[in-house]
Every structure is written in C-alpha cells, then in structure tokens.
Structure 1
C-alpha cells in the first residue's frame, strides 16, 4: 500500500526513490496486482508514467478518483481485496496537501486534508499491517514544523491501531 502524490514506479536505472516501486516489481519483492498507489496527482516528469505503473500490475487510485468515489468505499474495496495478506504501508507525506504539510520533499497541490488523511490511517487499521514507513518530511522546508507534527500524528494513529489489535494477556 503506497499513499503518495507519485507512483515512484518510474522506469529509471538504479535504485533511486522515483524508481523504488519499479525495482520492487522487477525484483518480485511484492505482488503489484494487489499493491495500491493511492493519491496520485499533479504533473509528472515524463509521459506514460501511470500507464507504466499499470503495465507493472499496480492498482492506481488518483486523488480525483479517491475523492469522487469516496474515501470509505475506496478503502473498503482495498481492505476486501487485501483481506488477510501481510501489508506494508509506505506513506509519503506529500499525500497530504501542502496547505497542511508544507515541509515535504515534493509538495503537490490538491492532496488530502489532515482530517481525510487521519481518517484513512484509521481505516487502514483493518489491514494485516506488518510494517509501516512514513517518509519525505523535509525539516529544511518545514519552517513551522507542520509536516513533522502531522507525520507524528499519522504515526500515532497507526501505533494506536497496532496496539488495539494486539491480543491482551491480562487475566
């Protein structure tokens, strides 16, 4: 599960950030047919990037589709499709709109609001989460610390979900 403004599946040589999901599919580190990129939007570096990601097998949900279809229906579909599979969540902070997370590496207008993003984090708790990374906060660009503060809140939401899902050993 990849929440980002970009696919990060660019057909580039080497192990660069924009090619991470291209390399992952190419190396068979994941099954792209059940891997989602959610929140895609904005200008892209070259033509055909979404088509390329789809050719690799990835499921793409643009920000327009997410908001037009509705967050809950889209996330319900994702949860049904992923069922009990182990899920690695890669959350790029540019998934948020720069108005709420300005200090990111590649800000891109038209992202989710803080409320929508935190709702998504809570809805994703239903997945069998085995790992999470939250990335792309840029302290040099985060003068007021808004992106870092929001990032910490996303982490808290996931930790709370993981703690709630943990079996209790109280007698």
Structure 2
C-alpha cells in the first residue's frame, strides 16, 4: 500500500519533490492511482515553459494532506498511489512523443490504474486519449477550458495545443454524444469558432451560459450528458480566471474563482472517470505560486474522485 509520507512526522522540505510526497516508484503492482508528468510544451501558440508545469505542481503539492474534508474521505484508506515520474517525451517531436506516451500509458491502464497526468501543453491530451480509446474504446470527454481546442490547424500545423480535440474526433477516440466542454470564453477569429465544437458533436456550456444557469444546473447537465459512460476529465488551468491562475500561456479573463472551479470538480462524484489530466501550468508567469496552489489542489480533487469511486465500489 503506497501513501504519502506523514508531514507531521517528517518535515515537508525533506526528500525528493514528488506529488503530495508519494513514493517515486515506476510500478504497476499494488497501485490504484499513478500521478504522471507529461512535460511536453513545444506545440504552444504563445508563451512556452509548460514543460516545467509538472515540477511546479509537485513542488507546491507537499502541503496537501490525505483527508479531504469537503468530500469527507481519507484518500489512502481506499487507494494506493505513487508518483510514477514523467513520460520520456522527445522535445519538439510531437509524433514520437505521442507514441511514447501512448505505449507507457497503455501499460498503466492494462493494470486498472487511474492516471492523473500533469502537463505540459494541451496538445498532450491527444496522446492520452489514444491510450484510453485503445483500452476502453471511444471515451466521454469532460473538458474544463476557456478554449475548445477544435481548430483544424494553427500556422498550418495540424498538431498544436489548439487542435487536439478535432484530431481526437477524427481518429474516433471520443464518444462525442456523451462529451461536454465547459467554460468556453474569450475573443475568437470568427463565428465558426463558436460553432466548431458543436458541429463535431460536443455539447458546450460557455462561461456566460454557466453564469446564467448557475452551478447546480451546470453540474446537472454535465452528469446528464456523460451518463454512465466511461469518461476522461481534462482540466486546462486557463479555465480559471487569471486573477486566480496567472501562470498559464493563453489566459482569458472572466472565468471562475479558484473556489468555484474546485466546487465544480467535487460535484463530479459519481461519473465513471477512468483518468484525468491537468494542463497549461506555466511557472514563469505564476506570481507567488498562485497557480501551483490551485493546480495541485485540482489534482488532489481528481485523486479524491478516484478514491470515492473505489469507496463506492466497495
């Protein structure tokens, strides 16, 4: 049974930085949850440096504790978890990196482990979805993001952080009939950018609509859309207003607070999530580690959802 070091017995600044002070061990034996870094960032359109996101999140995560009072659960009473380390990506070679990630992640999924993947720019999610679709078939996507990332190309390139979900639909990786995008906002190039995700089959709830519906109704619609389908949660940190998450590459104002974002994730309990990723954390723009504090807690809430699922199964 793998669990974090007890920080009331061992100072937080002792030892190698791992997520939540979990053991850094690349094993699939006796593991329920694996935290994995995917430090790829050479498919961005603006600021770079997301390759350092996994390290930045891990650094702050040492403050996290095993009992989640909001969900009333001690994660490690139900789950054994490790920090699996990072995928061995190839800088500037997105296709070779996708192949590496798919192979390694497929190995993890074959052992019924729930991965929580720390990015990296949002292009990495296509590699994750390839592995999940290989193991589970087309999977329902729940996306929290200010951008739909469904452009056909960027600078003429088909594989960028603004294109992964169009590619995923084209490759048959996503069950679009049970997928939803939440929090979309910001200036676009034209009205087709608004209609693109829905034309691909996604349900969307833009940020303005979220405010009109309220949190309770937004969550109800997410649950209704996903239903009992196997699902994957992708969380772009720019979903959150840059006042609460300045450390990201393409910030969009008018988003939720950190509290509101965490409440949305907590309310997803009951959805059959098979895995998670958290992307676009950019340390060089992160004043006072505000974004790291949020991102590490988002990953913690993802881990809690996995633990609640184990609890409910028992």
Normalised-by-shorter TM-score class: over 0.9
- Tell me if structure 2 keeps the 8 A contact 1:86–1:129: yes
CA distance in 2, matches of 1:145, 1:111: 19
Match of 2:85 in 1: none
Match of 2:279 among 132, 135, 159: 135
Whether 1:121 aligns to 2:265 is yes
Match of 1:108 in 2: 252
Whether 1:78 aligns to 2:186 is no
CA distance in 2, matches of 1:169, 1:31: 24
How much does 1:125 deviate?
Answer: 2.1
- Tell me if structure 2 keeps the 8 A contact 1:92–1:134: yes
Q: What RMSD, in angstroms, separates the aligned Cα atoms of the two structures?
A: 1.7
CA distance in 2, matches of 1:149, 1:50: 31
In structure 2, list runs of 5 or more residues that go unmatched. 1-141
Match of 1:10 among 114, 135, 151: 151
CA distance in 1, matches of 2:312, 2:220: 27
The structure that has the greater radius of gyration is 2
CA distance in 2, matches of 1:167, 1:58: 31
CA distance in 2, matches of 1:112, 1:102: 13
What are the equivalent positions in structure 2 for 1:85-96 lying under 5 Å apart? 85-96=229-240
CA distance in 2, matches of 1:73, 1:95: 18
How many positions carry a matched residue from both structures?
170
Moved more, 64-73 or 40-49: 40-49
CA distance in 2, matches of 1:123, 1:167: 16
CA distance in 2, matches of 1:9, 1:168: 35
Structure number with higher helix proportion = 1
Match of 2:292 in 1: 148
- Tell me if structure 2 keeps the 8 A contact 1:4–1:95: yes
CA distance in 2, matches of 1:105, 1:154: 18
Q: Secondary structure at the match of 2:260?
A: helix
- Tell me if structure 2 keeps the 8 A contact 1:125–1:158: no
Q: Secondary structure at the match of 1:16?
A: coil
| CA offsets 1:109-167 (integer angstroms, 9 cap, x no match) | 00111111010010112211101000101011113111111000111112122112214
- Tell me if structure 1 keeps the 8 A contact 2:269–2:308: no
